[in-house]
Amino acid sequence: MKRYAVIVAGGQGVRMGADRPKQFLEIGGKPILRHTIERFLAFDPSIEVVVALPTAQKEAWRDYCRREGFLERYTMVSGGITRFHSVQNALKYVGDAGVVAVHDGVRPLVRQALLERLFDAALSHTAVIPAVPVAESLRRMGGEDATVPVDRTGMLLVQTPQLFDAAVLKAAYGMPYSTAFTDDASVVEAAGTPVHIVPGDRINLKITTPDDLVLAEGLLTLFSFGK
């Protein structure tokens, strides 16, 4: 079964407040994006990787890769206006047969055990996503200075990578964009394909804020990411 990994790193990371998009900030002495790419290549050296980057940052990333000898084989494409459009651009370089894992470029702590769990599930399910139960209490804004509690029973935090049959995913991304598309699973579901959930991994952090950057640095030190 042919495997693809679409790594979406087309955002600008404005919430990080840094001088460059967050995927290029460093943890463990390397850019976040490099860690992310390396996770997939360590899992399966034959996997076809497609990385969607901001157009304005592509040359700087090429310079970094040449300078640091990070010359792994992957395809680089321009990110779009939204995440949906970035994935749409990347799928032009994905074949019609096989399994596609779509992953956030700023989730560099994806462990091999999670990847194995997801790809194993993809052998028998068309769409597979990882999720973890909500552990914290939830409240919803109910008006000015008012909040109401939300029952967290059955609530899940969805992660990436999300895996799909290549033909199904490409067909789904042929639909017009909708603001209801919050991730790839929502696109595929809108096209009529049910989604299968497997246990995620709380270590699989999405780096969004400066606090996340500090936490990721610590987790990278504490955990082995070859396993």
Closest Cα to residue 169, out of 91, 223, 106, 93? 91
- Provide the pLDDT for residue 10: 73
Spell out the residues 6+ positions from residue 185 whose beta carbon is closer than 8 angstroms to its own: 127, 129, 158, 162, 195
Spell out the residues 6+ positions from residue 222 whose beta carbon is closer than 8 angstroms to its own: none
Closest Cα to residue 90, out of 36, 49, 33, 50? 50
| Cα R_g (the chain), whole angstroms | 18
Q: Encode burial over 198-219: b for 16+ CB neighbours within 10 A, e otherwise.
A: bebbeebbbbeeeebbeebeeb
Angle 149-153-157 (CA atoms, 0-180°, nearest 5)?
A: 95
Closest Cα to residue 40, out of 67, 74, 77, 9? 74
Residue ranges covered by each domain of the chain: 3-131+157-222
Q: Spell out, as residue ranges, where the chain has pLDDT lower than 70.
A: 11-19, 226-227
Closest Cα to residue 65, out of 105, 102, 37, 28? 37
CATH assignment, 3-131+157-222: 3.90.550.10
d(C-alpha 165, C-alpha 142), whole Å: 40
- Provide the pLDDT for residue 22: 86
- Provide the pLDDT for residue 145: 81
DSSP 8-state symbol, 208: -
- Provide the pLDDT for residue 19: 65
Interval 113-134: pLDDT, tens: 999 999 999 999 999 999 999 9
- Provide the pLDDT for residue 112: 96
Interval 49-86: pLDDT, tens: 999 999 999 999 999 999 999 988 899 999 999 999 99
